Amino acid sequence: MNMAKTFEQYLKENRDQHLKELANLLSIPSISALSEHKEDTQAAANWLADALKNIGMENVEIFPTKGHPVVYADWLKAEGKPTVLIYGHYDVQPVDPIELWESPPFEPSIRDGKIYARGSSDDKGQTFMHIKALEALLQTTSTLPLNFKFCIEGEEEIGSPNLEAFVEEKKDLLAADVIVISDTTMIDQGKPTICYGVRGLCGIQIDVKGASSDLHSGLYGGGVQNSIHALVEIVNSFHNESGEITVEGFYDQVIPLKDEEREAFIKLGIDEEKVRQELGVNHLYGEQGYTYFERITVRPTLEVNGIYGGFQGEGLKTVIPSEAHAKITCRLVPDQDPEEIVELLKRHIEKNIPKGVEVNISVFDKGAPYVTPIDHPVIKAAARAYEAVYNVPVSYTRMGGSLPIISNLDQTLKAPIVLMGFGLPTENFHAPNEHFHLENFDKGLLTLCHYWYELEKL
């Protein structure tokens, strides 16, 4: 492939300049969660808009939202060719505890082939790569094999509160044939990975109320329902002894795994004994009939994230608490519908309310699960691009977490989504000493260039 040499050469020759520019972007403390950094998030948006203009992108615009702005740009001169929408985010997590950073979070520093800075891996570094890959193609071929659009938001780390409305409003502007996001991780160093699905999420809070005030267990103990006992009875009813969720209808819409998928997961070579030791538990535990990896990625879950009621201080207080509370989230897989699952949970709880208490259920944010079929042509093309650069078979994975943006983009734009992440799970995103391996910076740039040509061929 002749062309590859050309962009390879360009990227090699300009590597120092590119890293200098990346360091520049990484020095902007664009922490979306902290209002004192509002000007910094705007500065990061401006920086990206300029960078996009500089490489030759057109219609560059910074769209304000109720929160931090969205940077848009496009290049639509590949007539008759598909359009790619590249999503990324320029906002970063807070840096506390700052004293644990070995170099200041906004003074990028390259050590041992890694660039250390907040946002280096999540997600400024990976977003920057998309810009530089297109620059390499434009500089070496004066054109692009496909049409491209960028949508780079500034609120991913705070749950993308304004993205849904933005995407809905701009759905014609953002329309694309495939959506590419580089904001996930490879499963391990040297193991390029395509994440082809994420779990969805729904959450509820259960509030149990017994007597109208806390009661003395000497005076009332044995005579009234204890709100904690009632809550515990409800919570304990969610799972059976095999670790399955007993909520009626919970699994009805779950699409069974394909043999191809289960085989791909076995190839990941997850060492359950190593995981067990790292987590410091005597047994891994979960739904029977599935591997650890399957349980954390492609099986739905119901987890109590918090429980509280009564006395929590030192020693004892002989109180029968009036109230007890539990916070619960479910991770969902295709085709479970978060709204429907919430209804099933409510029905289950209402059937299981113990005598002597009242129960209130609040519903929290929901996100749909998403999967791009493992054998979809855009996934297969990505695999070929990775394999051309990394020279190893690509790994296929699904993510146990939920990306708030995925279901937004999926449900509004209705295009397949390809998650090509170049981060590593050890790179401390959301923690002190976040870093990004330059090996994957270099190889990732090449992979992206290859991918656009692979997509062109489809």
**Is 314:350 a contact under the CB 8 Å cutoff?**
no
From the CB of 363, what's the least distance to a second copy, in Å? 10
What one-letter code names the amino acid at 192? P
Residue 63 to residue 255: CA distance in whole angstroms: 38
Q: Which is nearer to a second copy, 52 or 328 (CB)?
A: 328
Enumerate the β-bridge partners of residue 216. 319
Asked whether 177 and 83 are in contact (CB, 8 A), the reply is: yes
Euclidean distance between CA atoms 453 and 448, whole angstroms: 9
Cα gap 421→406, rounded to integer Å: 14
80 vs 315, beta carbon nearer a second copy? 315
Q: Closest CB to a second copy among 1 and 316?
A: 316
Taking the CA atoms of the chain, what radius of gyration do you get in angstroms? Answer: 25
The CB-of-101 to a second copy minimum distance in angstroms stands at: 19
* Residue among 111 and 430 whose Cβ is closer to a second copy: 430
User: How far apart (Å, rounded) are the C-alpha atoms in residues 196 and 24?
Assistant: 32
- Give kind and range of the element (H or E) at residue 381: helix 377-390
331: CB partners within 8 A, 6+ apart: 199, 200, 201, 300, 301, 303, 400, 401, 402
Residue nearer to a second copy on the CB measure, 8 or 123: 123
Q: Are strands 215-216 and 319-320 parallel, antiparallel or unpaired?
A: antiparallel
Nearer to a second copy, 55 or 275 (CB): 275
Q: Min. distance of Cβ 442 from a second copy in angstroms?
A: 27
Instruction: Please report how close the Cβ of residue 396 comes to a second copy at its closest, in angstroms.
Output: 18
Q: How far is the CB of 36 from a second copy (least distance, A)?
A: 21
The rounded distance, in Å, linking the Cα atoms of 157 and 404 is: 10
**Shortest Å distance, C-beta 131 to a second copy:** 28
d(CA 245, CA 238): 6
CB of residue 440 to a second copy, shortest distance in Å: 20
Shortest Cβ 89–a second copy spacing (Å)? 17
**Where is 325: in which H helix or E strand?**
strand 323-332
Tracing tokens 């695999």 back to the chain, one arrives at 383
Nearer to a second copy among residue 34 and residue 232 (C-beta): 232
CB of 345 to a second copy, least distance (A): 14
Q: Report CA-CA distances (Å) from 319 to 138, 217, 323.
A: 72, 5, 11
CB of 349 to a second copy, least distance (A): 14
Least distance to a second copy from the beta carbon of 357, Å?
A: 7
Pick 326 or 419: Cβ nearer a second copy: 326
Nearer to a second copy, 216 or 267 (CB): 216
Distance between CA atoms of residues 458 and 84, nearest Å: 13
Please check whether residue 206 is in contact with residue 408, taking contact to mean a CB–CB distance below 8 angstroms.
no
Tell which residue, 283, 264, 263, 265, has the closest CA to residue 273. Answer: 283
Give residue for tokens 């620059």: 135
Comparing CB distances to a second copy, the nearer of 108 and 321 is 321
Separation between Cα atoms, residue 51 and residue 355, nearest integer Å: 64
* Residue 103: DSSP 8-state: S
Closest to 216 in 3D by CA, of 325, 319, 69 = 319
- Single out the residue of 88, 163, 160, 92 nearest to residue 130, CA to CA: 88
Q: Give me the least distance between CB of 193 and a second copy, in Å please.
A: 14
- The tally of CA atoms less than 13 A away on the side-chain side of residue 334 is 16
* Residue whose CB is less far from a second copy, 2 or 312: 312
Which residues is 442 bridged to in the sheet?
A: none
